[in-house]
Amino acid sequence: MASIPCALTIAGTDPSGGAGIQADLKTFQELTVYGMSVITSVVAQNTTGVQNVHHLPVTMINEQLNSVIPDMPVHSVKTGMIANKDMMQVIAEHLSKSVVNYVMDPVMVATSGDPLISEDARSFLKQQLLPLATVVTPNIPEAQYITGQSIDNTSDLQEAAFEIVKSFGARAALVKGGHLQGKAVDYLYDGNKLYTFEAERFQTKNTHGTGCTYSAAITAHLSKGLPLYEAVKQAKQYVTAAIQYSFSLGAGNGPTNHWAVRKERVEQ
């Protein structure tokens, strides 16, 4: 069993299937990684936004972790939406004990603009979870909150990546430039070197779940033993294809296409 790459996602749900736990498990499956999940919150959500959220009791989150981690091989863990400080404390205890690869998607605000975590949880995330992260994957609004600095251009993106590693203790930071104009450029700083990942930008509103999918793909590749740079490189290719072949489903921002890589293989 230990030879099968296995990844665990700890996050909230998305009943419309484009983001959260559902997006993570789809991504793991497409990248031939065995996916497991611990649910933090049940979210009433669709392509137009978040309608309601029910947070699971912290005891239940702890019991899920106690069920999965001792029983199954866990080669990497990804966290998404963790709504409050109490949840984060329990999760941090497990991460600090037994996790080798930890990918943090610092989910704070939905694409629709709806806030997803409390203010004290944001502070705990910066102070306690970031130092545990193998890599953290903020978009521009999230990176601005973490660093307290505005990000208006690619130089600011690079500075944010440096700051998150040097001042907050993450081993690496991937700051994503999807909110800027021009090509979609992301910067990875691993404490020693800055890497640039650039892709064509596609004119589509169907980007629901992009951040979840990107970080899940990184998690999957780390589970396979890839070095961080290569894991991010392949994940960038995966999420770019998912956006290029995204779906016009729903009344709002449609979901990305988790099987787009299969579509590309067929067309080539």
Q: How far apart are the C-alpha atoms of 209 and 214, rounded to whole Å?
A: 9
Phi, psi (rounded to 5 degrees) for 129 = -85, -40
CA quadruple 59, 217, 142, 187: dihedral sign: positive
Classify residue 200 as exposed, middle or buried by CB count within 10 Å of its CB (0-12, 13-18, 19+).
exposed
Q: Are 168 and 126 in contact (CB under 8 A)?
A: yes
Which active-site residues does the annotation give? 176, 207, 209-212
Helix axes 228-244, 260-267, angle to 10 degrees: 80
Helix axes 20-30, 210-223, angle to 10 degrees: 40
Q: How far apart are the C-alpha atoms of 135 and 149, rounded to whole Å?
A: 20
